[in-house]
Chain A
């Protein structure tokens, strides 16, 4: 095992590497956030981190203000979201929860959103954005399992907001919070499925899909 937990400022390699959550200074690569560094795969999985918008990512936000030709969206992030009104078919009310796709991050630090969909009712929770890839799981296994086990509809935004509706949302919240806390441990898919009382056959299948300690699933979102 060449995995170790690194802290900001720790030298990861004596050569320049292009990594998320790391900077190159001189000829060295240094971590800028806490994370698990895999030496063999040269992969830094952030344990703590903020959300950086990327195009075509799905986010969840709350409509802050409906202006004449745009909507401002609160994304619970350092970036403000904006939705151009001419791309919206039906008018959206203030304080509505929406799911949208990121088109781009413009130069002023505003996230331009497209393809909005209003989410009515339900429950909105916030988790650390660095844990979202683990919550989704490799090939959506983890979130599919929670959705299936609690009979809820779940929409996950890469900015850390999760919306859910119908079914046992309390159990789903509990499962998501458990993933947030224990995301860096192995065999988590197994523990979540036993928590949700899913049949044993799905146990092994889900565990197999998790693969190498969830490293691939972590990689997915970055």
Chain B
């Protein structure tokens, strides 16, 4: 049962964004000392931390692949992250699904052939959730992987698009996600334009689908720029410190 609700008034959404506007994104790299790579993202009200370990020996032994590295991903929402159904700690049906699709995104971009018999573990922990956490998690984990030095073909980003009434909108938050007609998270490798993840709740017409993908690709330029800045900034800060001196 969905309550009747006006999610778009005078072309503005609940939080004052236009249909093609992203929420504010901030990424910090290298936040966990013990991990090979890590990153923290604030995407609107989403707060997500991601860490990467490996490549290391794949255990238990029977899951290892002698030809390539296996990617393990664990997406979880903290018990305090959200108001509603995500109150239980640990893995549930939804977390298992998101972990699976996220691992598949990174299987496509990491050079897995270089590390036979090893595993690469990606951890994504949602500290505060406000819709679009799987997209924000993938964007964050891509930065964490880049800081770990694990070779990648491309640094993917993800964002969701959807439909409210008859208008296609980008980057849905929790309320829009719950009451909209469609929600479609997409992960893309920016250099090649390959789509690594495409899921959809609800219905879009062909025309709306094309429009949504177009919006996602356009927003990708901004997200990729923020990812790059997050990676380069720590190095630039140190370099600038000594340039002045």
Contact = CB atoms under 8 A, between A and B. Distances in A.
A46 interface: yes
Contacts of A186: 242
A135 B69 CA distance: 30
Given A78-B56, A185-B242, A9 B154 contact: yes
B152 A9 contact: yes
A112 interface: no
Interface stretch (B91-99, B213-221, B229-237): B229-237
B155 A8 contact: yes
A23 B155 contact: no
A25 interface: yes
Contacts of B154: 8-9, 30
Interface stretch (B38-46, B111-119, B177-185): B111-119
B59 interface: no
Interface string B175-196: 0000000000000011110000
Nearest to A76: B56
Contact of A8 (B66, B114, B152, B235): B152
A11 B191 contact: yes
A187 interface: yes
A7 B150 CA distance: 12
Contact of A78 (B55, B111, B145, B242): B55
A130 B147 CA distance: 12
Contacts of B16: none
A185 B239 contact: yes
Interface in A129-184: 130, 181-182, 184
A39 to B, nearest CB: 17
Given A23-B111, A78-B54, A185-B242, A30 B191 contact: yes
Nearest to B30: A48
A52 to B, nearest CB: 8
Contacts of A25: 153, 192
A173 B123 CA distance: 30
A96 B24 CA distance: 52
Contacts of B146: 7-8, 33-34, 48
A214 interface: no
A34 B111 CA distance: 14
Contacts of A80: 57
Where chain B touches its partner, the secondary structure class is mixed
B238 interface: yes
**Residue among A49, A52, A78, A187 with most chain B CB within 10 A:** A78
B139 interface: no
Interface in A101-136: 108-109, 128, 130
A47 interface: yes
Interface in A44-102: 46-50, 52, 78, 80
B149 A7 contact: no
A50 B66 CA distance: 19
Interface in B19-52: 37
A30 B153 contact: yes
Contacts of A47: 235
B148 interface: yes
A34 B29 CA distance: 13
B151 A32 contact: yes
Given A7-B231, A9-B153, A30-B191, A48 B147 contact: yes
Given A7-B146, A185-B239, 6 more contacts: A7-B232, A9-B191, A25-B192, A30-B191, A50-B149, A182-B242
13 contacts: A7-B227, A8-B151, A8-B154, A9-B152, A9-B153, A9-B191, A21-B151, A25-B153, A48-B147, A78-B69, A130-B149, A184-B235, A191-B242
Interface of A: 5, 7-11, 21, 23, 25, 30, 32-34, 46-50, 52, 78, 80, 108-109, 128, 130, 181-182, 184-187, 191
Interface of B: 37, 54-57, 66, 69, 109, 111, 114-118, 145-155, 189-192, 227-228, 231-232, 235-236, 238-239, 242
